[in-house]
């Protein structure tokens, strides 16, 4: 029997919810520069499956990794942490 790894979870801010059942979420993280040892903010946007269409722009949401839903969607909306 193989071990199942837990699915990744991220927290980000909704930057677009104009599509049907889809939202665009910006996730920000800090990374230390290898040479200068300074912390730099990196941003990445994910397309998230939002079945009910309940999240709005500016909401802080938690997303969870899932199987591919479409060509670019590989994340699901888990819960809304904070309303805008």
Domains of the chain: 22-82 (2.40.50.140)
CA 56, chain centre distance (Å): 14
Q: pLDDT tens for residues 19-39?
A: 999 999 999 999 999 999 999
pLDDT at 4: 85
How many alpha carbons fall within 13 Å on the CB side of residue 50? Answer: 25
Residue 3: per-residue pLDDT = 84
> Who has greater pLDDT, 3 or 1?
3
Does 54 score more than 90 pLDDT?
yes
How much is the pLDDT for 40?
Answer: 97
The proportion of the chain whose per-residue pLDDT surpasses 70, expressed as a percent, equals 100
pLDDT bin (cut points 50, 70, 90) of residue 2 is confident
């Amino acid at each position: 029997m193989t071990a199942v790894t837990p699915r990744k979870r991220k927290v980000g801010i909704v930057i677009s919810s104009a599509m049907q059942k889809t939202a665009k979420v910006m996730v920000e993280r800090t990374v230390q520069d290898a040479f200068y040892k300074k912390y730099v903010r990196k941003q990445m946007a994910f397309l998230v499956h939002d079945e009910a269409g309940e999240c709005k722009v500016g909401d802080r949401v938690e997303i969870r990794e899932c199987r591919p839903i479409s060509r670019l969607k590989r994340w699901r909306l888990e819960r809304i942490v904070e309303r805008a």
